[in-house]
Amino acid sequence: MPCYADTIVRIKHVRRNKKEDSRTFSLWAIGAYPIGTEDLEMEMTLPMPINPDDRDPDSQALFKRDEYFSVGGKIVPGTYAGNKRLKMLVTNSTNISIDGKASNKCPMKVSLVGIPQKMPLDIRHTENSVIDLLVSDYLLHQQYNYIVKVVFPHVNQFKHYKTSVRPHESILFVVGQLEIIDNEIYVYARELSYIDSLSTKKKDYEPNNHEVTLITTNTTRSKLLYAHKNAFKNSDVKYSDDTQEEIISSTSTGSEYFESMYQDDLSGDDDLPDV
């Protein structure tokens, strides 16, 4: 059950990886995408056919340093220098131009599927609730299991999710905007839907409310920051040792790969293929 994302990035580092077979290669790159007033980095791998005639010019643009690209693909978490970073297996890339006077403002838009780990938690004095979602995927020869904290408005068409979601049984489909806050992955949901799985026995969970202060702005980022500060950061919800070990194992392995690739960055044009 993967997480798919698309955004706009500025390429900071790029290199060509070794050939995996006689017909393909892959580009490894670090791209910066804007969140709030700062840019965050994302590691990307772009598989490409060696023969230029086999490439789709509309969706397989080669990365070039200091240029902007619209990218989309599956993402998983990794770490670098102790901070959580996203890793993307790019399925489409488009070279774009941005006016020098304009800022590169494009949120990390995602669609994902996961299993709720508990009942939604109300954020008092707001119209939002939050829920932990377990997301699993196999990417870049590795299994990933990680928690995404989904924030959604509970006063509109999503109101029934407060009571109808079944922890460890429901499968939740989410479309929204992703941000990393204090090494936690948050998604503000724009669309939600779910189905129930009957493979496990139903368990009883109760929401746990915490005292909060009033929210003062209405941006997606402010809602995620507010949820992080006033709900999950003070939550007493714990995960099983097995789940924690899985999450730690997957992200630590990703960290080693991320760090080694970053240090080995070539960033030059000599090792890149001709278009």
Instruction: Taking residues 185-209, report their average pLDDT.
Output: 68
Instruction: Taking residues 164-175, report their average pLDDT.
Output: 92
Q: Which residue has the higher pLDDT, 173 or 234?
A: 173
- CA-CA distance, 198 to 169, in Å (whole number)? 7
In this predicted structure, the answer to whether residue 27 has a pLDDT above a threshold of 60 is: yes
CATH number of 3-106: 1.10.3720.10, 3.90.380.10, 2.60.40.420, 2.40.50.140? 2.40.50.140
User: Which residues of the chain are in CATH 2.40.50.140 domains?
Assistant: 3-106, 108-252
Fold of the CATH domain 108-252: OB fold (Dihydrolipoamide Acetyltransferase, E2P) (2.40.50)
Exposed, middle or buried: residue 178 (CB in 10 Å: 0-12, 13-18, 19+)? Answer: buried
Poorest-pLDDT segment among 24-38, 85-99, 113-127, 229-243: 229-243
- Measured in residues, the chain has a length of 275
Q: What pLDDT, on a 0 to 100 scale, did the predictor assign at position 173?
A: 95
Q: What pLDDT, on a 0 to 100 scale, did the predictor assign at position 140?
A: 74
- CA-CA distance, 248 to 241, in Å (whole number)? 10
Instruction: Taking residues 32-39, report their average pLDDT.
Output: 76
What is the pTM for the complete model shown?
0.72
Q: What pLDDT, on a 0 to 100 scale, did the predictor assign at position 254?
A: 46
Tokens 């026995």 identify what position? 201
Ramachandran region of residue 182, left (φ > 0), alpha (ψ -120 to 50) or beta? left
Q: What is the mean pLDDT of the chain?
A: 79
pLDDT band at residue 22, thresholds of 50, 70 and 90? Answer: confident
Instruction: Taking residues 177-193, report their average pLDDT.
Output: 94
Q: What is the pLDDT of residues 221-238, one digit of tens each?
A: 777 777 777 765 555 555
Q: What is the pLDDT of residues 191-201, one digit of tens each?
A: 999 888 654 44
In this predicted structure, the answer to whether residue 28 has a pLDDT above a threshold of 60 is: yes
Instruction: Taking residues 138-162, report their average pLDDT.
Output: 88
Instruction: Taking residues 161-172, report their average pLDDT.
Output: 90
Instruction: Taking residues 75-92, report their average pLDDT.
Output: 93
- CA-CA distance, 28 to 19, in Å (whole number)? 12
Q: What is the pLDDT of residues 40-71, one digit of tens each?
A: 899 999 999 988 889 888 889 999 999 999 99
Q: What pLDDT, on a 0 to 100 scale, did the predictor assign at position 194?
A: 87
Among 18-22, 172-176, 197-201, 263-267, name the most confident range.
Answer: 172-176
Q: What pLDDT, on a 0 to 100 scale, did the predictor assign at position 216?
A: 45
